[in-house]
Amino acid sequence: MQGTIATFDPTSRTGTLLLDDGTELAFDAPAFDASGLRKLRLGQRVAIEAGEGGRVRQVRIPGVD
């Protein structure tokens, strides 16, 4: 799945993203930490890996494995 970063707090490493269908999902620090990224910017396109119950397990840059 892909979406766009709506909010990101670099201190807590948490945020929200809007999926392409308009659904808002929150991600926690472990999902951000799993990405290996250092920061995100508002409006940035991301791909996510979802786990049980739709929980975001990882946020990553699309096309980068």
- What pTM was computed for the model? 0.86
DSSP state string for 2-64: EEEEEEEETTTTEEEEEETTS-EEEE-HHHHHTTT-S---TT-EEEEEE-GGG-EEEEE-TT-
Residue 57 has pLDDT above 80, yes or no: yes
Does domain 2-60 fall under CATH 3.10.450? My reply is: no
More confident position, 43 or 60? 43
For residue 43, the model assigns a pLDDT of 96
pLDDT tens digits, one per residue of 34-52:
988 889 999 999 998 888 8
For residue 8, the model assigns a pLDDT of 96
Mean pLDDT of the chain: 90
